[in-house]
Amino acid sequence: MRETRIDTRTISMSLLEAGEGPLVLFCHGFPEGKRAWRHQVAALAAAGYRAVAPDMRGYGGSDAPGREDQYTVVHAVGDMVVLLDALGEAQAAIVGHDWGATVAWQAALMRPDRFRAVVALGVPMMGLPPLPPSRIFPRSEEALFYTLYFNEPGLADAELARDPRRTLLKILSAASGEAGPRHPGDDTPNPFGMVRRGGGLLADLPEPAALPAWLPEAELDRMAAAFAASGFTGALNYYRNLDRNFELQQAMAGAKVAVPALFLVGERDTGLSIPGMAEIIAAMPDLVPDLRGSHVIPGAGHWLQQERPEAVTEALLAFLREVEG
């Protein structure tokens, strides 16, 4: 694997890449970076693919545009399209996790001519809600949903940047499969749940005694250094565009993902504790007619491709071979 940099029509992007062959593009989520896909980039290169994982806009070594409204899902899909052009590729299979899964789904929906297949980890394809997300997410006098907390300009930015290594360790540990089983309504610590007003995101997350078994200390140090340099504002700006995405995505209302698709989720993913998530996953075939599988990975948490790299790679390669021969 090698880390490179490439200029596109929109931003300059930092890439982790390896191999030659059909292109597979990997999109990371929050709060990670391109190296979250290090296991899959190496394995797919060995299997005869060209594997490329960029730092998404606002993250790591990629450019971070200055305006909040430059972080919509349309901007992110546009980055993937122009990345294909800069790489000299007509098409790619696109793989995403967390926010990257949302980008991957929307890329396949908007540009099936450029993205020949889609694999999503953790976040299912969902139809448009009846109202803007900010009017749906829960809040009370005592607490508010984490996405609403992230929407307060400067607030989460300062909290998370105070000690990036501690921030990452707390979030990664609390959403890991090692934190234990999760069920709708349970009180297992969840960085992607409710945040006490005045308390911040990190206050109620446990202080880990050790790193999760799947996270090497060197990788945590790399991530912490990247966020110490970039800050968290670019990453948080994705959340600050949820209502704007709702408006922009009306142009695709009723459209279905037409390309072959695969969905993977960890058995202990924090998202599965959201009421109604099981029904959303079960309803995906209505939105994704060529869904080839929806698999739950035992014991894994939210960071699926790092927690269970062999299982993810095996499922990914089997899917690609099925749809591409």
- Establish whether 186 is a catalytic residue: no
The two three-digit tokens of residue 238, written as one number: 């994705």
Check: CB of residue 41 under 8 Å from CB of residue 53: yes
Burial class (CB in 10 A: 0-12, 13-18, 19+), 256: middle
290 Cβ partners below 8 Å, 6+ apart?
257, 258, 259, 260, 261
Question: What is 273-309 written as a DSSP string?
Answer: GSTTHHHHHHTHHHH-TTEEEEEEETT--S-HHHHSH
From the candidates 55, 79, 98, 269, give the one annotated as an active-site residue: 98
Q: Which residue has the tokens 């749940």?
A: 193
From the candidates 28, 75, 97, 302, give the one annotated as an active-site residue: 302
48 Cβ partners below 8 Å, 6+ apart?
19, 20, 21, 22
Q: Which residue has the tokens 């501690």?
A: 166
C-alpha dihedral, 102 to 107 to 108 to 110, nearest 10°: 120
Burial class (CB in 10 A: 0-12, 13-18, 19+), 210: exposed
As a whole number of Å, the end-to-end CA separation of the chain is 25
CA distance 81 to 75: 10
- Establish whether 204 is a catalytic residue: no
Catalytic residues: 98, 302
